[in-house]
Structure 1
Amino acid sequence: MDGTRIDLLYLSEQDMIKAGVRDMAGCIDAMHELFSLMSKGDYRMGGPSGNDHGIKLGFPQTSDVPGMPLDGPDRRFFAMPAYVGGNYRLCGIKCYGSNQVNRKKGLPRSILMLTLMDLETGAPIAYMSANLLSAMRTGAVPGLGARLLSKKAPKVASIIGPGVMGKTAIESFVVAQPTINTVKIKGRSRSGIDGFVRYCQEKFPTIQNYIVCETEEDACRDADIICFGTTNALVFEENPYVNGSWLKPGALIMSTSALLMDDDFMADKTKCKLVADNYKMYAGWGAGQPYPTQKSVSTLIGMRFYDLVTSGKLRPEDITDIGDIINGYKTGRDFENQVIVYAVGGMPTEDVVWGYHCYQKARELGVGVKLNLWNGPELA
């Protein structure tokens, strides 16, 4: 800004690529810094507690209003505001529209944009394509888990849901734990699995073995790191389920979306440790609503953490936030054979931090298009 003049930088998807949005190692480092700040309370998101995932606009199942859009698979609009402190001290809002019919049009299920805003004035400083940004930060947070929570020298990683989230997750695992040489895959279609394998073969030459699995149980057994990236099912009980007996001692299992697990196993602190990206985001989910109607956070396993607390099987302090591990307030893996369950719900704080890194790089490289909002406001 110069006086009352306001300019902002527009970054297309190609601009974001030039600005390093696909730098997974850098993204994991940025998430490490972010979760340290979040552990100290130096952040805000939406809602009264400052911990809401976002605000969803959905549509009714039926309507008498002419032209009213109707609900459908993954059909929604979402606004995700956040403030991040530390050296960032800025606000941002990620917004997106989502609809499964996009796939038939050759489009991603969700189309995302991020606005970065000046903290004092609220003026926009950047408006950027956020599909790749969101995919990278979604993969980087599991990668941070692999860096901090995995057993030593893991060899076998399992991907359940080999879509975009599965691709960025395996990339983050290879970056965080380069000893990984085998990938197990469970997907819905052979074409999706084959595409995932081709992608990995092109990008990750250190992976030597690919094992296609028929069931979630096959994918979980003998794996050191397991990641679920499947879309939430329309019927809650039809989401993927994992029994604790399937898990190898010392396994790290995480979910960025749909996953249900054996409650008794998760509550057994002699075998299992529960780690969240931000437990406060899950606390209170669905309160006062018929179970389970709340879908405003994307990972079901975090919701199950809250259920275990409200049912009295665990205490809130039994859930460990990953930022508290980073800051040394709590421990990570307590013993080598401990199973760790890690909930990854996705937060706009992550988008703001990685978006800001890309914005700074774009300015350094002279990438993007400068747009003028006004030379001076018409109304002030």
Structure 2
Amino acid sequence: MSTFHVIDGSVTQDVIGSAPSDVLELVRETYLQHSCGATVNPNSHFLRFPHDPGARIIALPAHLGGDTPVSGIKWIASYPQNVRRNLPRASAVLVLNDAETGYPFACLEASGISAARTAASAALAVETLADGDTPKTVLFVGAGVIGRTVSDFLAARGTDVRECLVHDHVDAYAETFAAYAADAHGWPARTVSQIDAALATADLVVLATTAPAPWLADGQTLLPGQLILNLSLRDIHPTVMIKCHNVLDDIDHCLTAQTSPHLTETEYGTRDFIDGTLADVLRGDVTLGHDRPTVFSPFGLGVLDLAVGYHIYRTAVRTGRATEIPGFFPELKRW
């Protein structure tokens, strides 16, 4: 690699928005590739701050093998207090490295990549795990970027939503999301203030909050066959998790960092509550019953960011929308 390109967020959004199904298929392929050992996905590294315990910056290094190998790292900041500043909670960059030389060759704005790969994995989980027909009543808990992007991917895949319920601790956010779902997707959408009643009626529950600890506990009613996308990872109490079917994206990764699966393992001293990974279900190695709710908990693998980011990079270069930085490397010969 002798050139270096920068790709801004508007290009990322255009590439993702023009073909969301391509992103979903990339995520599907990457999950299967990861399950076969054709990736390297170390543990994420968390930079935390004693003066602001809710904030963190996370490094996700990864390597994706196959016919077009690539390495890289996502550096993503999560600052929940940003919403009070009228700023998005998360910001990120993705650096891509040549698999042969190690040289970095691109830097991409990556908050959109992160949201898209999360939403694509959520939509893939719905198509893979939903009981019977596609969900008719969908409850979004948390009305931020992740929830909105999940709605975009569900709509792009033709999910037949008959009723969209939105709950957020800030009423204005819930109202904005409901209006978006109605205008952008044509879904009948409304806000709900009573989360318990909404949980008891939804076929699909999308948890996309910033909650630091579990709040969904035994007093709330879940349904057999209900699908819960545990995207924020820390909303569900172990006493609820243990009673559900549980599918993860990667078992070892999910059982860290005080996630709901991690807390459940710690509380009960076993991993027997885990049915398998989404790749296991995709391959037909794991079949789930409909006798209880199913929870999908994706920790968020760096290899997904790489797959989506590399797709965006190649598309941007091919269409002339990547900005080359001449002279980024001062010299490319050792002698």
TM-score norm. by structure 2 comes to: 0.90
> Residue 215 of structure 2 aligns with which residue?
240
Matched, 1:195 2:176: yes
Which runs of structure 2 are paired with 1:124-273 in the superposition (5 Å)?
A: 124-153=104-133, 154-176=135-157, 178-205=159-186, 207-208=187-188, 210-233=189-212, 236=213, 239-243=214-218, 246-257=221-232, 258-261=234-237, 263=239, 266-268=241-243, 272-273=244-245
Gap change, CA 1:343 and 1:42, over 3 Å in 2: same
> Residue 328 of structure 1 aligns with which residue?
284
CA contact (8 A) 1:160 1:186 kept: yes
Q: After TM superposition, give the deviation of residue 329 of structure 1 in Å.
A: 2.4
CA contact (8 A) 2:254 2:297 kept: no
CA contact (8 A) 1:28 1:144 kept: yes
CA contact (8 A) 1:30 1:354 kept: yes
Q: How far apart are the structure 2 equivalents of 1:192 and 1:246?
A: 25
> Residue 67 of structure 1 aligns with which residue?
none
1:66-125 CA deviation, whole Å, 9 max, x = no partner?
xxxx32532x22211011122341111001333344334443222200011111211112
* Aligned residues between the structures: 332
1:182-238 CA deviation, whole Å, 9 max, x = no partner?
111111112101110121122101x12x242223312211211111111033xx3xx
Gap change, CA 1:351 and 1:87, over 3 Å in 2: same
> Residue 376 of structure 1 aligns with which residue?
331
> Residue 272 of structure 2 aligns with which residue?
315
Which stretch shifts more, 153-162 or 20-29? Answer: 20-29
TM-score norm. by structure 1 comes to: 0.80
Gap change, CA 1:302 and 1:26, over 3 Å in 2: farther
Greater length-normalized contact order (CA 8 Å, ≥ 6 residues apart): 1
CA contact (8 A) 2:141 2:168 kept: yes
Matched, 1:30 2:26: yes
> Residue 348 of structure 1 aligns with which residue?
302
Q: How far apart are the structure 2 equivalents of 1:21 and 1:134?
A: 14
Q: What is the one-letter code of the residue matched to 2:269? A: S
Structure 1 unaligned residues grouped into runs of 5+: 47-51, 61-69, 286-293
Bigger CA radius of gyration: 1
CA contact (8 A) 2:175 2:190 kept: no
Q: After TM superposition, give the deviation of residue 376 of structure 1 in Å.
A: 2.3
CA contact (8 A) 1:144 1:176 kept: no
Q: How far apart are the structure 2 equivalents of 1:27 and 1:219?
A: 30
CA contact (8 A) 1:9 1:127 kept: yes
CA contact (8 A) 2:275 2:286 kept: no
Q: How far apart are the structure 2 equivalents of 1:160 and 1:217?
A: 11
2:4 alignment partner, SS class: strand
Which stretch shifts more, 33-42 or 104-113? Answer: 104-113
Q: How far apart are the structure 2 equivalents of 1:181 and 1:221?
A: 16
Q: How big is the alpha-carbon RMSD for the aligned residues of Structure 1 and Structure 2? A: 2.3
> Residue 48 of structure 2 aligns with which residue?
58
CA contact (8 A) 1:217 1:242 kept: no
Q: What is the one-letter code of the residue matched to 2:299? A: G
